Amino acid sequence: NKPAGMIIHPAAVDRADTLVNALQWHLDQTAAATGLLRPGIVHRLDRDTSGVVVTTKDHLSHRRLSISFQERTIRKVYFAVVEGWPADDTGTIDTPIGKVADPESNLVSAAPDAINPRAARTDYSVLEKFDGWSLVEARPLTGRLHQIRVHLASIGHPLLGDPFYGPGGDIRRDRNGILLIEPPSDPPWPAIGRHALHARSLSFEHPITGRPLTIESPLADDLSRMLADARG
């Protein structure tokens, strides 16, 4: 149940306090020797996305689960809080995603001029509507980088708190964090300190026993409080 703000793997500027560090510490408490068991990462969540992550403790499980992700047999459900009200309460966004034109940027785009676009599809349902914003269930059928964030922004409904992807898919900030698009001066939606995306559940067959599993994560505290305040 990954908290928002934690990255998966150590990086150049973030060597500690990652999910891999935490999992390695946990495994070392039960293994016969330090480092004997290694966490097998089979998928990722963005730093500021909270919720369910599945990892493995042996090579066979890692291989089989990795194949399940590649073959898209794992059902993923996310909760997203977005700006505005989507025109349709249910729908499918079937738009390829590729890199933005800046070769040094790690941002992606669903725009026609995206570089090396790959097929991407997201089903969605609007769960609740508030004053100028909505709670949406998103079900990605592919696994592209930033897919839900980019797809919802591309139809005019970016995630609350997303610093990069704006309405229509416009890039709000460049890779250096320089503001490109001014935010609304008095938006109707509440402020939040990260993009409002939560990995609600994963459904898959256990890689060894074949037993069907659904793992759910309760909504993160910051999103839960925001919704509770709006509901009164």
Annotated catalytic sites, by residue? 46
Measured at the CA of 133, the angle between CA 129 and CA 137, to 5 degrees, comes to 65
Token pair 């696994």: residue = 143
b/e for 142-168, b at 16 or more Cβ within 10 A?
eebbbbbbbbbbbbbbbbbbbebbbbe
Which three-class secondary structure state does DSSP give residue 135?
A: strand
Token pair 């060597």: residue = 15
Report the candidate in 75, 83, 88, 89 with the shortest Cα–Cα distance to residue 127: 89
Q: Which residues pair with 199 in a beta bridge?
A: 51, 78
- Listed in sequence order, the DSSP H helices in the chain are 19-28, 59-70, 147-154, 221-231
